[in-house]
Chains A and B, each alone.
Chain A
């Protein structure tokens, strides 16, 4: 019974490179949320997607960041031309329904370090 799977768990990039983070939701879940967590801080909402649709991207920076959740395959959060300030833990969460009861199932996170 696989939970939310994220990979890679750890990613090191140099400034200017691209980072791709992948998230496979729990089986039967079609709603995916991406959050960013800086050290000693809470979770900051980035984007909410359903299959093939971006529902709410109000928390995602307009430049360099993009997200997708294709019909087949995992959701991907892409960060282009990374900068040191992008260093953070990126958590993906999934939910079986759109009306939130708060039951978000989180993956273990992908920790991005930008050198």
Chain B
């Protein structure tokens, strides 16, 4: 089992719709979770972090964490063509590796 798993996509949604991106992770103790966005040919940039069970909202983005089910998701409301990118889920475990572990990413396409 991979440590951090994402569906590679592409996930295609029409402009204005809600895009839902999901990520599952291995249970290895205390974790912190992050969503990065990477445009084609560019470097990743952090868009959301979440540490506690439940929802965290920031503008059009909502991160959801469910520790019991070991998944974290990212919702993008009112999706725009400019949201078309690859979204990388990342986990930091307090034990073991001293760095973020990334999933393989989900490619999102927002159709105008």
Contacts and interface: CB of A to CB of B under 8 A. Distances in A.
A56 B44 contact: no
Interface residues of B, number: 23
Interface string B24-61: 00000000111000000011111001000000000000
Contact of A102 (B34, B43, B97): B34
B106 to A, nearest CB: 10
A21 to B, nearest CB: 14
Interface residues of A, number: 24
Interface stretch (A40-48, A61-69, A79-87): A40-48
Interface string B56-95: 0000000000000000000000000000000010101000
A101 interface: yes
Interface of A: 33, 35, 40-45, 48, 55-56, 58-59, 91, 98, 100-104, 106-109
Please provide the 10 A-B residue pairs with the shortest distance between their CB atoms, ordered closest to farther. A102-B34, A42-B104, A106-B43, A43-B102, A56-B98, A42-B102, A102-B49, A100-B92, A48-B99, A45-B99
